[in-house]
Amino acid sequence: MRKQLLSPFVPFLMFFLYSSTTVAQTPSPAPSGPTNITAILEKAGQFTTLIRLMKSTQEADQINTQLNNSNQGLTVFAPPDNAFANLKAGALNSLSDQQKVQLVQFHIIPNFLSMSSFQTVSNPLRTQAGNSADGEFPLNVTTSGNQVNITTGVNTATVANTIFTDGQLVVYQVDQVLLPLDLFGTAAAPAPAPSKPDKDVPAKAPAGSKEDASADASGATIATVSVSLVLIAAISLKL
């Protein structure tokens, strides 16, 4: 009898469990109203530093305006607070206002990239920071199975998970701040110019040593004595 009473509820329970699991794996929905990148990050939590940078550089307003006034897609790579904490001390404070803008823009791709798109995307990716072909802001993607790695020329970050996606905007959490080569790369020191050979300098004749001077003096004395003896002998013969 109990089995007969429970049997109609079994499919309902299975559907409820499946739905709960599916919702847990789905990225968090955006807050109600127009798309707002900072609101999405605030709801996800642990993105205080990135939010502050987006607001101070006014990139947040530009992203929101673009999303709400056009159909162009965007992909945002979002490093959490602990990724910023792992930077060298003073790394952010040493940047100018323009460089902070470029740092935020380096985390934004001006088109929508789904997770599967990373398998076939062409490198280098073009970010809003500038032309990657000049070697200033290169961003390359490599994949290994389901893992997506992003290389900047300075460091390599891994896509941890999808924070939000709605078909126009997708926000991925990355485990490191993406450091542009133009801002954080160390320029290679130029090779030293080959040294020019020294000009040939004619060797000076060595100055006479003290021994040579003594020998010359002795020879002059002997010659003087010899001449004196000859004169004396000549005078004796005349006498």
pLDDT tens string 59-92: 999 999 999 999 999 999 999 999 999 999 999 9
Domain 37-174 annotated CATH 2.115.10.20:
no
Give the whole-angstrom CA distance, residue 28 versus residue 176.
21
80 vs 207, higher pLDDT: 80
Strand partners, 140: 151
Give the rounded percent of residues in the chain with a pLDDT score beyond 70: 62
Q: Closest Cα partner for 79 from 113, 116, 112, 53?
A: 53
Q: Show me where the domains of the chain are located.
A: 37-174
DSSP for 92-147?
TTTS-HHHHHHHHHTTEESS---GGGGGTPPSSPPBTTB-GGGTSS--EEEEETTE
Query: What pLDDT, on the 0 to 100 scale, is given for residue 37?
Result: 97
Beta strands in the chain (DSSP E): 74-78, 108-109, 140-144, 147-151, 156-165, 169-174
Of 124, 148, 150, the residue nearest 137 (C-alpha): 124
Taking CA atoms, 35 is separated from 40, 215, 228, in Å, by 8, 107, 125
